[in-house]
Amino acid sequence: MKNKIKAVKFGGSSLCDARSIDNAAKIVLSDDSRKYIAVSAPGKRFPGDEKITDMLYRAFMSSGDEFYGILEKIKARFDEIISGLSLPMSLDDEFSELIYGRKNYFGRDYFASRGEYFCAKIFSAYLGFDFIDAARCISFGENGAFLPELTKLRTAAELSGSTHAVVPGFYGSMPGGTLKTFECGGSDITGAILASAAGCDEYENWTDVSGFMSADPKTVDNPKTISIITYKELRRLSFMGAGVLHEDSVIPLMSDRIPVIIKNTLDPEAPGTRVVSVRNGENDGICGIAGKKGFCILRICKTKIGTNTADTTNILRVLSQRGVSPVSISSGIDCISFTFPKTAIIGREDYIRSEICACIEPVSVTKGPDCALITIVGADPQSRLSDIFSALNKENIAVISVDAGSGDGGITIGVDEDNLDRAIKALYAKLIKRGM
């Protein structure tokens, strides 16, 4: 029988100081199936503290005495961690290289990635695991685009020579060795890459909360923890701001159907949230609601446009050429609406309108007011449309747009930005709280 293998990722809040790192190490060593570990840079130790990565960005943008002052504070934090763990090691050479890299224009991404690099060096030494530099595993092309196939091959080759290893998250390398970082949350992606490349049975993502919340606790009091959610549902919620796990982190796992377990380092025995490909009858209800401000709607009207695929294709081509990607599309017989971040059309609105008019000759092209989008996910949310409208109508909240989804377990609605929090509270009370 094949022994179970797990990939594990620890976030910055779980590695913020020596005590936290010791706790994370105990979690790893308590289960021998935890073989491959991805780490973030140390995060905030207390409210008002600064994340190491933010300090590195500040240092990179500074010069002279300010640069050396920030770097001294960063080194002091790592030295404090090393001392607190009683490790016989030093990062003096690594910080000398960092100064050399700043003077020789190694780049912003190189600088930003050193928090993960230093943390992985420390954590691997404390665990007695191998250290594998992410630059040898994760590949980006000359244009900076992530290369998933090559990454999986390189990562599998590196891991094949190690039974237990720690890999820094957040970055990889381009041809020629230049370092390139993912977006914020990239360490989640690194952990998923390890899980996929090693053929793991599970990917554990350890953070400072006991799973994925069914709504933002800043908006809803004591929201329910989601016990099980699908990859697609999680991606929809994460895109709308539910920030426990980066939405792209499950992409490397989807084809292999590797489940993700979101766990809490401060409460390791809590069941957390399980992220899977298919729910199989478990938790057959609405499981999550998330919303975000900052969107606008472009509404285009023309006779039979809703059934004219050529017109839709032409509109999408115009938007693509102007670098605008809709996040939601809804249509009727004679009107079609595209929703996208309002920042996407700053300085482009007049061009987009004139180009659409030139290629499809619509009756009208109008930009609606700024709006917020709310995503509702779970088993068959389309069957709850009447409840959704009822809950919002009771609070006198008008629905601006509706995207009923395409079989991916979600519905997205648009409301006025000022009504976002009230709408989420009303929907949570109607769709989730009543079923608790």
- Give SS3 for 97: helix
> Which region among 2-11, 101-110, 353-362 has the lowest average model confidence (pLDDT)?
101-110
Q: How many C-alpha atoms does 99 have within 13 Å on its Cβ side?
A: 15
| Amino acid 257: pLDDT | 94
Is it the case that residue 210 has pLDDT exceeding 80? yes
Residues 6+ apart with CB under 8 A from 145: none
Nearest to 36 by CA among 64, 8, 70, 69: 8
- Give SS3 for 392: helix
Long-range contacts of 53-62 (CB under 8 A, 24+ apart): 53/12, 53/112, 53/115, 53/170, 56/111, 56/112, 56/114, 56/115, 57/108, 57/111, 57/112, 59/102, 59/111, 60/102, 60/108, 60/111, 60/112
Is it the case that residue 281 has pLDDT exceeding 80? no
> Which region among 90-94, 208-212, 271-275 has the lowest average model confidence (pLDDT)?
208-212
Q: What is the mean pLDDT of residues 386-409?
A: 88
- Contact in structure between 371 and 301 (CB atoms under 8 Å): no
Percent of the chain at pLDDT exceeding 90:
80
Cα–Cα distance, 349 to 367 (Å, whole number): 9
| Amino acid 407: pLDDT | 62
CA 397 to chain centre: 30
| Amino acid 59: pLDDT | 94
- Per-residue pLDDT reduced to its tens digit, 240-252: 888 778 888 888 9
Is it the case that residue 291 has pLDDT exceeding 50? yes
Is it the case that residue 435 has pLDDT exceeding 60? no
**Residue 395: what residue type?**
E
| Amino acid 112: pLDDT | 94
| Amino acid 44: pLDDT | 97
Q: How many C-alpha atoms does 88 have within 13 Å on its Cβ side?
A: 1
Arithmetic mean of pLDDT over the chain: 93
Is it the case that residue 360 has pLDDT exceeding 70? yes
Domain locations in the chain as residue ranges: 6-208, 287-435
Q: What is the mean pLDDT of residues 82-99?
A: 96
| Amino acid 84: pLDDT | 98
| Amino acid 403: pLDDT | 86
Cα–Cα distance, 115 to 36 (Å, whole number): 19
Q: What is the mean pLDDT of residues 369-375?
A: 93
Residue pointed to by tokens 């001294």? 72
Is it the case that residue 436 has pLDDT exceeding 60? no
Q: How many CB atoms lie within 10 A of CB 302?
A: 18
Is it the case that residue 104 has pLDDT exceeding 80? no
- Contact in structure between 348 and 340 (CB atoms under 8 Å): no
Report which of residues 435 and 381 the model is more confident about.
381
Is it the case that residue 336 has pLDDT exceeding 90? yes
* Top CATH class, 6-208: alpha beta
Nearest to 152 by CA among 277, 3, 274, 255: 255
- Give SS3 for 414: strand
Distances (CA, A) of 61 to 57, 67, 76, 118, 176: 6, 8, 20, 20, 24
Highest mean pLDDT among 116-120, 242-246, 408-412: 116-120
CATH fold of 287-435 reads VC0802-like (3.30.2130)
